[in-house]
Amino acid sequence: MAPIGATSGPTATDGAQRADVELRVPADRAYASVLRTTTAGLAARLDFPIDDIEDLRIAVGEACAMVLEEAQHGTDLVCGFFQQPGELTVRVTGTVDGAIEPDHDSFAWQVLTTLATSATAEATDSTFTVTLSMTSSLRTHQEPGL
């Protein structure tokens, strides 16, 4: 098992990087709670404060809602978690039927981008991916040199 922070989150130029943790669940709303709970556990392991953990849980729930809305019935959601000290990146991917256009005006997207430090949505002919990152508020409020 890789130590926390052994890898960095995915970037636009390196989308194939291996996640520290990856879960594959049926593309069904009932399984979104598994991804939210996993997110909370990993954030706690990274010493995120409770408010940040709850924000991450909600953000991942919204990312799942966006992907599930477009996912083909009978397929899987793949959720990759990328850990760094004080930062967690979550990538939720679902299989779609044809190219879609991410709805950046949706309520789910507005909630997601409000809670996360950064978020992106990408679609291809066969997949729809929402990626979000959050930096711990403890990390962002520390004085330099502490």
For residue 29, being part of any structural domain is answered with yes
The amino acid that residue 37 corresponds to is T
For residue 13, being part of any structural domain is answered with no
What is the per-residue pLDDT for 99? 80
What is the per-residue pLDDT for 144? 52
What is the per-residue pLDDT for 11? 43
Rounded to a whole number of angstroms, the distance between the first and last alpha carbons of the chain is: 29
Is 80 within 8 Å of 19 (Cβ atoms)?
yes
What is the per-residue pLDDT for 4? 38
For residue 77, being part of any structural domain is answered with yes
What is the per-residue pLDDT for 16? 60
Return per-residue pLDDT of the chain as tens, 146 residues: 334 333 444 543 345 688 999 999 999 999 999 999 999 999 999 999 999 999 999 999 999 999 999 999 999 999 999 999 999 999 999 999 988 888 899 999 999 999 999 999 999 999 999 999 999 988 655 545 54
Q: The domain that contains 38 carries what CATH number? A: 3.30.565.10
What is the per-residue pLDDT for 138? 85
What is the per-residue pLDDT for 68? 95
For residue 43, being part of any structural domain is answered with yes
For residue 1, being part of any structural domain is answered with no
What is the per-residue pLDDT for 128? 96
For residue 115, being part of any structural domain is answered with yes
What is the per-residue pLDDT for 38? 97
120 burial class (0-12, 13-18, 19+ CB within 10 angstroms)?
middle
Total number of domains constituting the chain: 1
Q: For residue range 130-145, list pLDDT tens digits in order.
A: 999 999 988 655 545 5
**Where does residue 142 fall: left (phi above 0), alpha (psi -120 to 50 degrees), or beta otherwise?**
beta
For residue 145, being part of any structural domain is answered with no
For residue 112, being part of any structural domain is answered with yes
Is 74 within 8 Å of 98 (Cβ atoms)?
no
Gap between the Cα atoms of 99 and 102, Å rounded: 10
Q: Which domain holds residue 49?
A: 21-140
Is 45 within 8 Å of 5 (Cβ atoms)?
no
